[in-house]
Amino acid sequence: MNNKELFEKSLKYVPGGVHSPVRSFKGLHTTPRFVNRGKGAFIWDEEGKDYIDFCMSFGPLIHGHQDPEIKEAIIKALDHGWTFGACEKYSLELAEYIVNKISFIEQIRFVNSGTEAVMTAVRLARGITGRSKIIKFNGCYHGHLDAMLIKAGSGLAGTAEASSKGVTEKQAGDTLICELGDLAEVTKVFDDHKDQIAAIFIEPLPANNGLLVQSQEFLQGLRDLCTKHNALLVFDEVISGFRIGFGGMAEKVGIHPDLVTYGKIIGGGMPVGAVAGPRKFMEFLAPIGPVYQAGTLSGNPVAMAAGLVNLKKLTSAAYEKLEKNTQAVVTIMKDWMDKNGFEDYQTIQYGSLFYPISSHDKLTKISDLPQNMNERFYKLFEIFLNKGVYLAPNAYEVGFCSLAHEESVQEELKRRLWK
Ligand SMILES: Cc1ncc(COP(=O)(O)O)c(C=O)c1O
């Protein structure tokens, strides 16, 4: 069956044909590709066509598809069984490795996804502070938990409404929305909700509505406000963790959050998330603390083994190479776009993330994104796809480079684009 036939069949058995909405190619004038396999920087669809992959499973595959050492670790772990629901050494080793390398983390709890990590952090922050409200920023995505499927309301600063059916008004009322970069607004929201705010949640490198790089001053301002009001600062580093250096954006900007959430890279492509922080906060979690959290498959040994090798391979030389790969890729794409009718585009790059966008402005908040940019992106996406270059299929998603996007792949990218 070809991609189209597979998708039509899938529509019969699965809502919208997909198990996560962004895979559906909504709005695009082509059908989702059914991926049969991946290797290095490439994926092959069920029709045998290959693509240079810049989606990389939306981030986890920082060493490329089927990295041989990660694969070996997975196979070795499988040989011992793949879940015990009991204590085992795999998760201990991964916990120890991370705690010893990131200065503000003393303890870590593994879960199964980024969403679960943020959900745990929300409950933990509320449990620690005894307060119910949280601040979130317009344009940041933190997974599909109720508390975070909230958008800015039309009224006063900090008001909010649900962005999904099924989220109650009560839940929306406990999440206060602010604009990225607007410290005055966050200050006002704290003043308006004295002693009610448990935590600020932020992607310190917002990468879910393009790449909205924040200033160090803004992030430091949030740190100071949280300290002043006895609220927690939670960095959601599900994308940026282990990508923008091992310690993520926290390390890059030199700011210690009170809690941090991880996902994606931490599991090497297996389903893993984590919440981490100092012992004084983490020990609020069950079984010794009053905040309940649990998981049948949490700390799954196969996933932990994959995560550990994935992280151990992230040396400083690896980060240098990653940066170089990404710069080269961005230069090649920009050159092609400039000469082929996409002069209105810039490509924003930060570490190994990049974001092609039809604007030459500096973009730091969601309202900076151009209106009606979808059609322009769909055109670019489809041209790239036909040339065998796979971007994330949505105008708001960033591109992910990996260590596998090395020189030979860069040459191939050039050849494909200019063919
Ligand atoms: C910053 C951030 N937080 C949380 C999540 C949710 O992670 P998951 O999709 O693993 O549930 C995502 C997913 O893209 C994310 O980018």
Which residues fall within 8 angstroms of residue 370, CB to CB, at 6 or more apart?
A: 357, 358, 359
Distance 114 CA to ligand 1 centre (A): 5
For residue 158, what are the β-bridge partners?
A: 177
pLDDT of amino acid 234:
99
Distance 110 CA to ligand 1 centre (A): 15
**pTM of the predicted structure, to 2 decimals:** 0.97
Per-residue pLDDT tens over the stretch 367-410: 999 998 999 999 999 999 999 999 999 999 999 999 999 999 99
- Please calculate the CA angle 197-199-200 and round it to the nearest 5 degrees: 110
User: Which residue among 236, 258, 319, 396 is the active-site one?
Assistant: 236
223: amino acid identity, one letter? R
Shortest CA distance to 299 belongs to which of 274, 316, 317, 282?
A: 274
Cα(351)–Cα(367) distance, rounded to whole angstroms? 23
Per-residue pLDDT tens over the stretch 7-23: 999 999 999 999 999 99
Active site residue 141: yes
Q: CB of 209 closer than 6 A to ligand 1?
A: no
User: Which residue among 51, 90, 141, 390 is the active-site one?
Assistant: 141
* Under 8 Å between Cβ of 220 and 255: yes
Per-residue pLDDT tens over the stretch 135-184: 999 999 999 999 999 987 766 566 678 889 999 999 999 999 999 999 99
Cα(247)–Cα(209) distance, rounded to whole angstroms? 22
Per-residue pLDDT tens over the stretch 182-235: 999 999 999 999 999 999 999 999 999 999 999 999 999 999 999 999 999 999
Shortest CA distance to 189 belongs to which of 181, 177, 180, 198?
A: 177
Domains of the chain: 3-67+316-418 (3.90.1150.10), 68-312 (3.40.640.10)
295 CB burial (10 A radius; 0-12, 13-18, 19+) = middle
* Under 8 Å between Cβ of 402 and 41: yes
Which of 18, 112, 141, 243 to probe ligand 1 with, by most ligand atoms within 8 A of CB? 141
Rounded average pLDDT over 337-361: 97
* Under 8 Å between Cβ of 270 and 175: no
Q: How confident is the model at residue 92 (pLDDT cuts 50, 70, 90)?
A: very high
